[in-house]
Amino acid sequence: MALKKGIKDLIAEAEKKSKGISIDAAKARLSDADTVFVDLRDVRELERDGMIPGAFHAPRGMLEFWVDPDSPYFKPVFAGEKTLILYCAADWRGVLAAATLEDMGVKNVLHLEGGFGQWKKNGHPAADKPSSKEKA
């Protein structure tokens, strides 16, 4: 089957529409109350590899539903004007998700360049996935 657009094309288009943030610039915002780190990875990835401390887990498949205030699945963490830093393992899902949220009209959306893999390679902190009892 020949595709009209492959994943490389989709990512390249999304990179043109979205804004990235470097690993070190993102780390500097780790304790910023006006920034929300959003982990897009599958729950198995979080359990295996941990996550950025304080990040909110929003599975990639639910993100648009959780962000839209008209959705029955809306999550209040996405209300307001906070900067969202989206990340996944290598930034493929992050860049696609950032472009989608930009298309939806969400302001202040960034994707973490290099993703969580690069975050850990740079020696930045990782935390265990919170248990379901700890979720807000």
pTM above 0.85, yes or no: yes
* DSSP labels, 32-83: -TTEEEEE-S-HHHHHHH-B-TTPEE--GGGHHHHH-TTSTT--GGGSSSPE
Residue 101 in domain: yes
Asked if pLDDT for residue 133 goes beyond 70, the answer is no
Q: Is residue 20 part of a domain?
A: yes
Is 30 a member of any domain?
A: yes
Supply the range of the domain harboring residue 40. Answer: 16-126
Q: Is residue 4 part of a domain?
A: no
Q: Where is 88: in which H helix or E strand?
A: none
Residue 134 has what pLDDT?
52
CATH number of the CATH domain containing 96:
3.40.250.10
